[in-house]
Structure 1
């Protein structure tokens, strides 16, 4: 079994773990950890795929569950960017909520402003990539990784950011 196939199988296993999460566990620490592992495997797959021709990559990916999601090496990079923006947003948002609920003091205003800017920038970048990707591909991506929350829906993303 080639290293590419191993990483494809790892990605499928992580995706299965994500799909088995209950609705209440979505965007929890466990879900975010799985997304982090998925991103790591995807980055490794991208590195390995860079030495393959596009047609060799496509023939390999066709045998995978990912075939409906990733149809080219470029799509790997797009998925990596989307996951990175989602992680940046969720991390910044969690820190914002922590400041607002537990430890708001005189120094918090500046830090809160920086975090809000970071969250808005991540969401804006996500929207830019998602719009370039197209509604169908973006919705496949969000469904595959169980990003069913309102903030990740196409219509909400398109309208707000």
Structure 2
């Protein structure tokens, strides 16, 4: 591309959208950068390169978080350190899920293969599924911790009602988790548990 070519900011989802919005800002997409004025073919190549770089960066972030989770002691299951890491994982999975929408199956598989995460992302839909499962895990832990706090404190009529509501939340979170998990293959499910430190009686059946 020629030096000094006109620059355009873009926040767009597709090359077509870029060309429609090339002279104004478009805030609907996930990719952010500066692209020179260029042909549609040139833009598509640059756009694809940026997407691939972005998703690979998020996959590297996820791999690091998985390593951190693997380094947790067994007694840290469900504790603050584990919760924080799973919330970080959720955020990264959300980014991957958005970026994966613009990837073909082949390009997504290539990205996860290069990142070393091909085993846990055998399917392009798994980032979204994992994120939902983690949400149910965190909901369950939060409600269960509150149940334990009530049981360990002075009990009264107000606490009894609150306890009942929290126990319902626990059951609901586990039921929703199981519904989603059962739609996965056994291999994917076990990899999910092992990758995120959830190989525990709470999630085995």
- The alpha-carbon deviation at position 145 of structure 1 amounts to 1.1
Which runs of structure 1 show a deviation greater than 4 angstroms over 4 or more consecutive aligned residues?
Answer: none
- The alpha-carbon deviation at position 62 of structure 1 amounts to 1.3
> Do the aligned partners of 1:57 and 1:72 also contact (CA within 8 Å) in 2?
no
- The alpha-carbon deviation at position 105 of structure 1 amounts to 2.2
Instruction: Give the match for residue 87 of structure 2.
Output: 36
| Pair 1:120 & 2:171 matched | yes
Instruction: Give the match for residue 76 of structure 1.
Output: 127
C-alpha separation between the residues in 2 aligned to 1:65 and 1:90? Answer: 30
Instruction: Give the match for residue 136 of structure 1.
Output: 187
Greater mean alpha carbon deviation, residues 37-46 or residues 107-116: 107-116
TM-score of the superposed pair, with normalisation by structure 2: 0.71
SS at match of 1:142: helix
Could you say what the CA RMSD is over the residues aligned between the two structures, in angstroms?
Answer: 1.4
TM-score of the superposed pair, with normalisation by structure 1: 0.90
Q: Please, which of 98, 114, 122 is the counterpart of residue 63 of structure 1?
A: 114
Higher share in helix: 1
RCO higher in 1 or 2 (8 Å CA, sep ≥ 6)? 1
Larger radius of gyration: 2
Higher share in strand: 2
Unaligned runs of 5+ in 1: 156-161
C-alpha separation between the residues in 1 aligned to 2:188 and 2:123? Answer: 12
Unaligned runs of 5+ in 2: 1-51
